Every structure is written in C-alpha cells, then in structure tokens.
Amino acid sequence: MNLNTKNKTLKPSIDELADIYYKKALERFPEWAYYSDIELERHDTINSNELSEIAKWESFEDKLYSELSKLDTSQILQKKDKITYWLLKEKLESSIGLRVCKRNLWDVNHLSGWQSMWLSLARFQAVGSEELRVQAFDRWNQFPSFVKTEIKNLKKGLSLGYSMPKVIVELVIDQLQVLQDYKIEDSPFMSPAKRDDDQHFQIQWEKLLVDKIIPTLLEYQNFLKNEYLDAAREEVSMLALPNGRDCYQAYIRASTTTNKSGEEIFELGQKIVARNKSKISELGLDLYQTSEFTEIIKLMNEDASNYFNTSEEILEVNSQLLSKAKEESKKWFAVLPTTEVAIKTYERHEAGTGSYEAAKGDEPAYFRINLNNPKQQQKGHNEVLTFHETYPGHHLQIGIEKDIENLHPISKLSWFGSYIEGWARYSEQLAEEMGLYEHKSALIRRRALPSRGMVVDPGLHLMGWTKEEVVAYIMESGFNEIEALTGYHRSIIWPAQLTSYDVGGEEIKALRILAEKKLGDSFDIKEFHSKILENGSIPLGALRSMINNWIDMKSI
C-alpha cells in the first residue's frame, strides 16, 4: 500500500491516512459525493458492483486499518485530529465487520437498492455543457451492465444460501412496475434532459431510456419474478442466513456505533416502553379521562379533531410549524444553520411518511412530506415528525454540521445513525420543553413509539417474533396497519437501523442528565447543545468522551 507520505521515514499521520481514505472512497464510490455535497471533477463513473472490485476495496480497507492501528493515540492531541481518528476508525471497523453479511449477494430492496441509487443519480447528474452531456452518457451507458452484474451477484447469493425474503422481493417487483409505467416524458430518469436546454441531448436521452434503461428495468423485474422470487427465503429473521447472528451483531455495531448486544437492546427497549406507557396513562387521564393505555390510543385514533381534512391543510400546517420551530430555537441554541429548509412532497414512485434531505449545492435542505390520504394523517403525529425532521431535529443538527469549519473532509462521508437519529429523537423531547407542540395528542404520540424499534428489531431477528407480533406491537402505539407494515419491512431491509434512534437518543438524554447533575447552577442548555453539536456526526463513545472532557473543564 503506497501511503504517499512526504517523509517516508515517519509513520503516516491521522490526517494522511484520512486523506488516503477520502480520495480512494470517492474514486470507488463517486455517488457518495452527491449525497455529501462534495464537488467532483467528473461525472462519468459509478461504483463497480463486480465482486472482484469489491474484494480490492476490502483489501484496501484492511491495509489502511492496519496502518491506523499502528498510531499512538496518546500522541493525537488536537481535538480535530481526535475526531478524524474516531471517524476513520469507526468507518473501517463497521465496514469490515459487515463483510460477514455478504450483503452484495442479497441486496434486493425498495428503499435503498440499486434502483434508488440510480434514481438519485438522475437528479444529481451534472449537465449543461457538451462535456457534461458526454459524461452523462458515459455513465448511463453503464446502466445495463451494472444491472446484469446485480443479477449475477444475486444468482451467486442463491447458490450460497443468501436471499432477501419474498415479501421484500414482491415490493421491489411492484416498484419496478411503477417506474416502467411512467410516460417517458414524466419518468424520473428524464431529469438530466429536463435540466438541459440542448434539444439534441433531450432526444438522445429519451432514446437512451427507451432503448436501454426501461428494457433493463424489465429484465431485472423478470428475473425477480421468474427466477428469484421462488428461490427467495420465507423466513425474515437474519438467523435464516449463513452467519446470521454475527451479521445482525455487525449491523447493530454499524447502526449504533456501540457493542451492545441485541438482547441488551431488547431488554432496555422494553423498560423504556413501559416507562413511556406509564406517562401516557397520566396524559390520557387529562385528555380523554382514562388512564388505560389501549383505550387512550383508541380514543386518540378516533378523535376527529386530530386529523387533517385536505392536502392543502397539511402543507399549510407544516409551513407554520416549521416557521414557529425555527424562531423558538433561537432561545435554545447559540447558533442556527445558515442553510434553509423547504417543504417538498413525495413523488409517485417514492414511499414514506416524512424524511429529511440535506442541502446540496445551491439548493436548500428539504423536509419531504406525504400529501396523500389527509384524512388518515394525524395532526399530533405530524407535529412530532416536523420537529424530528426540521427544528430542533435533523435540519438544525445537519445544517450546523455543514457550517463547521476545520473538520477533515472525511467528516462529509461519515454519518452515524445513532448520533443523527439519536439527536432527532432527543429533539422530540426537547420540542416539548420548548412548547412547540400544539395538540396534546402529540405529547402522547411522541412517547408511544420511541424505543419500540429497540424491541421489534431484535424481536424479529433474534427472538423469533412473527410478522403478526411485530405489526401488533407497533400498532399498539397508535400507528395503523400500513404504517406498522412499513416498520416491519424496514427492519427486514435495514437490520438494527430502528434501534439506532433510541440507543442514540437515550445516550444524549443521559449525557444531559450527567451534565446537569455535575454542573449544577453553571449548566447552560445553549452551551450543552453547542457541545453536542459542535463536532458534527461522531460515534457515541467519542461523544461521551467529549462531553466528559467539557464537564471536567467547567468543574475546575
């Protein structure tokens, strides 16, 4: 491995190792740049899904990790260097750990599968000049071979006992049909042509879709329908896969940045759910004159005043909540993001109840909302979602992170779910302290679901829970069957991801309690929030170390 250090007699520094990783990662996965708002010199390549190329990347990771392990961490004194070390160490260790899953041999999914990546690339593809148009065609002409390689990898996976469960395969088949049913001019794959004013390019791009993209989608769909579906597994637990238990533990590590076991998370989740249910009983007595949990949830779901009437109302209410939350955040945070967040609705081929998209280039960040079926959308749930995704949640945290200077560029490639989703979960509680909730049902709603992911996810993958048990447990919190099924499917596709919200949220809450206890009257909420947010997304162990150091310094 050529480290390309300036002084060959010295061990590479943490900055040099991070530089190497950053450069190689963007060469290997150029699409990461678009998600991370990184400028690329060219826009004509895509990550290779050939198993031989994946093996080369794994060899690179191993060599880099070996060099990282040689560093004397006691000599890493600067805070920015410590952060760089933690980021690189976590990225390498979690990636190396996930190899046991062999996910590239069974990655069929409707949320983050290859088709989702290419749909994003259609939006991000640079156009507007002759050179960029040539690069666009160079990249997209690789689409058929990329998909053929996916099929080849899935066939190998089947031969080795790896597959995605049938229930997910069926969802992907349906999604591919939606993508094929678009009129060509309306297809999301037409985005590059719509953003370029060259008529010849538009004609040729449409021809590309007709001749290559759409037929390739059909080829993959037919493979799933005619060959893969019958061979796919019925059992959804990770334990049905080779080395499934080790794989699930690797997903926990990657999702939570901790070494907690599934059993530990399951037990903790049950305790928090019980505590939340007890508080809901108190709230229900005030709102619905009953302390019985199931009855409270039933009355909340039957409360006509808790539902929207029109799509326009959803849009108007969300706009008002967003403005209110931003203004109130000034009282709780020393700084706010310089980037704006705008509301953007889902398109037909997309699925979701709400999500956040970070700002890229000159565009603002987006709070994605679903305007369908307004009379089935609860106002209380909508409030929790808005504050989770915007202020004081995702947009505030991610927006502030984008404004941080002097972090190593590797930070742009390092997003840890337990920190990011943990902050957003903490923000749901903080929003109550800030007085943001307007419907009392939101106070129930924000307590009803949290930590259930810590229960249903290991329940599904380790404890033998059935689909019916998972759906019933989620629905007990007040969600309808469709929403519960979404959570069920999500746990199958992204094992352990649902645990990251509350593993991270509980850690941030615990750090705040620790700081309040040790600092007493000198505790300042704005300062605490600044310390949580000032380093961007970092592993939970690193976050605790930073907060402990801050407490120690203030206590002197």
Joined tokens for residue 394: 């995702």
Residue 77: other Cβ atoms inside 10 A: 8
DSSP string, 214-237: HHHHHHHHHHIIIIIHHHS-S--S
* CA dihedral angle for residue 211, residue 217, residue 223, residue 229, rounded to 10 degrees: -160
Joined tokens for residue 183: 């009129």
pLDDT digits (tens, 9 = 90+) for 380-411: 999 999 999 999 999 999 999 999 999 999 99
Band (11; pLDDT cuts 50, 70, 90): confident
**Nearest Cα residue to 509 out of 440, 424, 416, 388:** 424
**Nearest Cα residue to 277 out of 506, 476, 424:** 476
Distances (CA, A) of 247 to 236, 242, 418: 14, 9, 18
Distances (CA, A) of 286 to 280, 290, 378: 10, 8, 19
Please give the sequence-ordered ranges of beta strands (E in DSSP) within 189-347, or none if there are none.
341-345
Contacts of 501 (CB under 8 A, 6+ apart): 417, 421, 422, 424, 425, 450, 453
Instruction: Please give the helix or strand (H or E) that residue 367 lies within, else none.
Output: strand 365-369
Domain boundaries, the chain: 103-241
Cβ-count burial 416-447 (b if 16+ within 10 Å, e if not): bbbbbbbbbbbbbbbbbebebbebbbbbbbbb
How far apart (Å, rounded) are the C-alpha atoms in residues 158 and 286? Answer: 55
Say which residue the tokens 């998370």 belong to.
265
pLDDT mean over 497-523: 97
Q: What is the chain's length?
A: 556
Contacts of 221 (CB under 8 A, 6+ apart): 173, 176, 177, 180
Is residue 27 over pLDDT 70?
yes
Band (555; pLDDT cuts 50, 70, 90): confident
Q: Which amino acid is at 173?
A: I
Beta strands across the sheet bearing 365-369: 341-345, 365-369, 354-357
Q: Which amino acid is at 518?
A: K
Distances (CA, A) of 9 to 4, 16, 63, 67, 549: 12, 14, 18, 14, 34
Q: Peptide bond preceding 458: is omega within 30 degrees of 0, i.e. cis? A: no
pLDDT digits (tens, 9 = 90+) for 185-211: 999 999 999 999 999 999 999 999 999
**Nearest Cα residue to 60 out of 8, 100, 15, 20:** 20
How far apart (Å, rounded) are the C-alpha atoms in residues 396 and 399? Answer: 5
How far apart (Å, rounded) are the C-alpha atoms in residues 325 and 28? Answer: 40
pLDDT of residue 354: 81
pLDDT digits (tens, 9 = 90+) for 265-318: 999 999 999 999 999 999 999 999 999 999 999 999 999 999 999 999 999 999
Is residue 333 over pLDDT 70?
yes
Q: Which amino acid is at 119?
A: L
Distances (CA, A) of 109 to 471, 484, 490: 19, 18, 10
**Nearest Cα residue to 339 out of 387, 390, 405, 385:** 390
pLDDT of residue 237: 98
Helix (H, G, I), strand (E, B) or coil at 413: helix
Joined tokens for residue 269: 């989740």
Higher pLDDT, 329 or 77: 329
Q: How many Å is the maximal CA-CA distance in the chain?
A: 75
φ, ψ for residue 357, nearest 5 deg: -120, 120
Band (329; pLDDT cuts 50, 70, 90): very high
**pTM of the predicted model, to two decimals?**
0.92
pLDDT of residue 371: 85
Is residue 350 over pLDDT 80?
no
How far apart (Å, rounded) are the C-alpha atoms in residues 118 and 144? Answer: 12
pLDDT of residue 4: 52
Band (5; pLDDT cuts 50, 70, 90): very low
pLDDT of residue 179: 96
pLDDT mean over 43-56: 97
pLDDT of residue 528: 98
For a pLDDT cut of 70, what percent of the chain falls above it?
Answer: 97
Band (351; pLDDT cuts 50, 70, 90): low
Average pLDDT, the chain: 95
Helix (H, G, I), strand (E, B) or coil at 344: strand
pLDDT of residue 10: 67
